[in-house]
Amino acid sequence: MKSTVYLVGAGPGDARLLTLRGAELLRRADVVIYDALANPELLRLAPPTAEFVSRGKNMSMPQAEITALIIQRARAGKTVVRLKGGDPFVFGRGGEEAEALAAEKIPFEIVPGVSSITAVPNYAGIPLTHREHCSSFTVFTGHSDSTEQATALRYDQIAKIPGTKVVLMGTERLEEWSQSLIANGMSAQTPIAVIHRGTTGRQKAVTGTLATIAALAAKEKIAPPALTILGDVVKLRGKLNWFENRPLFGRRIVVTRRTEQAGSFAHRLAELGADVLEVPTIKITTPLEKDAIVDCLLELNSYDWLVFTSANGVTMFFDIFFRRFQDLRDLGGARIAAVGPATAAKLRELHLQVDLTPEEFTGRKIAEAFKKYQDIENVKMCLLRAEVANRDLPDALAELGAIVDDIAIYKTVPETEDHGGACERLLEEGADWVTFTSSSTVEHFHARFDLPKLIKKFPALKIASIGPETSKAIAALKLKPALEAKEHTTDGLIAALLKAAK
C-alpha cells in the first residue's frame, strides 16, 4: 500500500502565509517531516496524533536519511507531508526529494509556498520592481561553492545585470561576494539591505551600501536565515516599512492562555507587530465522569436554560454534542445564558443568540440577573462548567428555587508539550512581557516555569496582569505586575501594552 507524499511549501516564516492547500493537507497528515525554516506553529494544524519529525537545527539529519524516511512512511501507507521553508523548489532540495520519489514510483504532489524571495522584501518595505527604478530582478545564492563547476556563480556576469538582486543564504560569505561584485564593476554605493528572519516578529534589518554592509551586518550579529536585497529600491524602505512600524513590533510577548483560547488574543498581539510566544500552561480535556454528560444530552429538551460560564465550556459542549447528534435542533428550545463577554462571543460564533449575559461574575450576582429576567422557581437549569468549579453559582440559583444540574463538561490539566517551540525560545531568549489573563494562568505558569526564577534569569521580563484578581495571584509569588489592565479583558490588556510601548 502506497500513499501520496506532499512536498509542501510552509511559507517564509509568518505562519499565516501558508497556502490553503498546505493547510488542508496538514490537517490530514499522518506524518509531518519539517525543516528548521518551517514555522513550527504550523504543526498545530496537523492532528495531535500525527508523527512529527524535525530535521533539526542546522539540518542535523542528513538528506539521505530524510529521503529514506519519507519513502519508508509512504510505503507503510501513511499520508506524508514534507514541510519545507518558503517554496519547496527554491534552494530547498525539493527537486532532489521529488526525484527520489519518482524513482521509487511513489505518487507525490508539490504545493508551492510563498518564497522568502518575494515575501521578505514585502515585509521589509522594499518593492522588488518599481517603474522608476528597475524592471527586473535576479536571484542567486551567496553560498554557492565556487569549486563546483556546474553551479558556480559568475560574479563577473552578475555584477553587470541591471535591476534588483536578491541573495539567499548570503550571510556567511557576505564579505566575500560583496567584494567580488565590487571588484567586477558594481557600484560600491549600491544600496543594500540584509533582513534576518523576515516576516516574523523577530525580523531584523540592516541597511548600508555594498561597500559597508559586511561590517555593518557583522556588528549587528546578523545570522542565518537572512536575505539580502541590492538595488535602488532599497531606498524605498524609508517610506514603505509598514511591518516594523506597527506599534508592538520588537516586543516579545508571552501568552499563557490555553492553546484553544490563545488564538484570538495572541493573534491580535501579532497583528500589532509583537513577537508572540504562545506558552499555554493548561489544556482542556473531557472529564473522567462521562455519565452525567450523557444523561444531560439525553434530557437536553427538558431544560429551560443552558448556562455557560466559559468559552471552553462552549467549545467542549458542542464538541461532545456534535459527536452524538447530527442536527443542531437536538439542542432543544432552552434559553442560553453566557457569563462573560468571551463566553457570549463564542456562542455567537456558532450563530446562537444569547438570552442573558450577567454583567457581574459572582454566583450571587449571576443568580440575581436570572431573577430579574424571570421568576426562576422550579425553572430547570443546566450549568456546563469545569470539573472543579466553585459551588457559589449552583447554590445561589438553588436558593432562588431553580432546579440545577451542574455538569462537568471539561477539565483542565497541565500542558506539558511544546509543539510550537515557544517554551524553548522563552527559556533560551527570555521576553519583554509575560501576560496573565487569570489567576489560574499565573499558578499554572509558575508551576511549569517558576516565575521568580525566570525573572531572575531574565531581569528585563515584565509582568502584565488583566486585573486585580490576577495581580493578587502574582503578589502571592512576591512579584508585582508592571502593568494592570484598566478594563479587565484581553482588549484592555492589549490597550495597556500599547500604552506601555509608546
- Give the active site residues: 35, 57, 169
59-88 residues near ligand SAH, rule: CB under 6 A: 85-87
User: Nine-digit cell at 327?
Assistant: 442536527
CB of 137 to ligand SAH, least distance (A): 15
Does 430 bind ligand SAH (CB under 6 A)? Our answer is no
Residue 166 within binding range of ligand SAH, rule CB under 6 A: no
Return the HEC string of 346-372.
HHHHCCCCCCECCCCCCHHHHHHHHHH
> Does residue number 231 form part of the binding site for ligand SAH (CB under 6 A)?
no
Residue 230, H or E segment: strand 226-230
- Give bridge partners of residue 53 from the DSSP assignment: 33
Minimum distance between the CB of residue 38 and ligand SAH, rounded to whole angstroms? Answer: 10
Which of the stretches 60-68, 205-213, 219-227, 459-467 binds ligand SAH when contact is defined by CB under 6 A?
219-227
Does 195 participate in binding ligand SAH (rule CB under 6 A)? yes
Q: Which positions from 29 through 48 interact with ligand SAH, judged by CB under 6 A? A: 37
Instruction: Report the distance separating Cα 85 and Cα 68, nearest Å.
Output: 20
**439's grid cell:** 489567576
Contact predicate 317/347, CB 8 Å: no
CB of 52 to ligand SAH, least distance (A): 20
Edge-to-edge strands, sheet with 380-386? 282-285, 403-414, 380-386, 305-308, 335-338
Residue of 50, 111, 227, 229 interacting with ligand SAH (CB under 6 A) = 227
Does the protein bind ligand SAH through residue 253 (CB under 6 A)?
no
**Segment lying near ligand SAH (by CB under 6 A), choices 147-155, 196-204, 213-221, 393-401:** 196-204
Closer residue to ligand SAH in complex, CB, 91/445 = 91
* Smallest separation, CB 92 to ligand SAH (Å): 4
Least Å distance, CB 174 to ligand SAH, is 11
Choosing from 13, 208, 358, 481, the residue that interacts with ligand SAH (CB under 6 A) is 13
Residue 22 binding ligand SAH, by CB under 6 A: no
| CB 51, min distance to ligand SAH, A | 23
Point out which span in 194-202, 239-247, 344-352, 368-376 binds ligand SAH (CB under 6 A).
Answer: 194-202
Which one, 227 or 397, has the nearer CB to ligand SAH? 227
Half-sphere exposure (Cβ direction) of 347: Cα atoms closer than 13 Å: 24
Q: How far is CA 67 from CA 7, 52, 54, 70, 318, in A?
A: 12, 15, 13, 5, 41
In this chain, which stretch among 131-139, 220-228, 394-402, 473-481 interacts with ligand SAH, using CB under 6 A?
A: 220-228
Backbone φ and ψ for 241, nearest 5 degrees, come out as -75, 65
Which position's Cβ is nearest ligand SAH? 86
Q: Which is nearer to ligand SAH, 35 or 278 (CB)?
A: 35
201 binds ligand SAH (CB under 6 A): no
Question: Quick check: 197 binds ligand SAH (CB under 6 A)?
Answer: yes
Site for ligand SAH in 293-322 (CB under 6 A): none
Residues 325-354 that bind ligand SAH (CB under 6 A): none
| One-character DSSP codes across 102-157 | HHTT--EEEE----HHHHHHHHHT--S-BTTTBS-EEEEETT--TT-TTT---HHH
Q: Please count the residues of this chain forming the interface with ligand SAH, following the rule CB under 6 A.
A: 22
* Residue (of 197, 198, 180) closest to 188 by Cα position: 180
Q: Are 52 and 43 in contact (CB under 8 A)?
A: yes
Q: Is 110 in the site for ligand SAH (CB under 6 A)?
A: no
**Which spans in 283-434 are helix H?**
291-298, 311-324, 341-349, 363-373, 392-399, 422-429
Q: Which is nearer to ligand SAH, 91 or 177 (CB)?
A: 91
Nearest to 200 by CA among 172, 223, 218, 225: 225
DSSP string over 42-85: GGGGS-TTSEEEE--GGG-S-HHHHHHHHHHHHHTT--EEEEES
CB of 382 to ligand SAH, least distance (A): 49
Q: Residue 414: is the preceding peptide bond cis (ω within 30°)?
A: no
Strand 282-285 to strand 403-414: parallel, antiparallel, or no bridges (unpaired)?
A: antiparallel
Task: Tell whether residue 485 is a contact of ligand SAH (CB under 6 A).
Answer: no
State the minimum distance, in angstroms, from the CB of residue 197 to ligand SAH.
Answer: 5
Residue among 70 and 306 whose Cβ is closer to ligand SAH = 70
Q: Report, in angstroms and rounded to the nearest whole number, the Rg of the chain calculated over CA atoms.
A: 27
CA separation for the pair 243, 123 (Å, rounded) = 6
In angstroms, give the least distance from the CB of 202 to ligand SAH. 9
Segment 117-146, which members bind ligand SAH (CB under 6 A)? 120
Contact positions vs ligand SAH (CB under 6 A): 12-13, 37, 85-87, 90-92, 115-116, 120, 168-169, 195, 197-199, 224-227
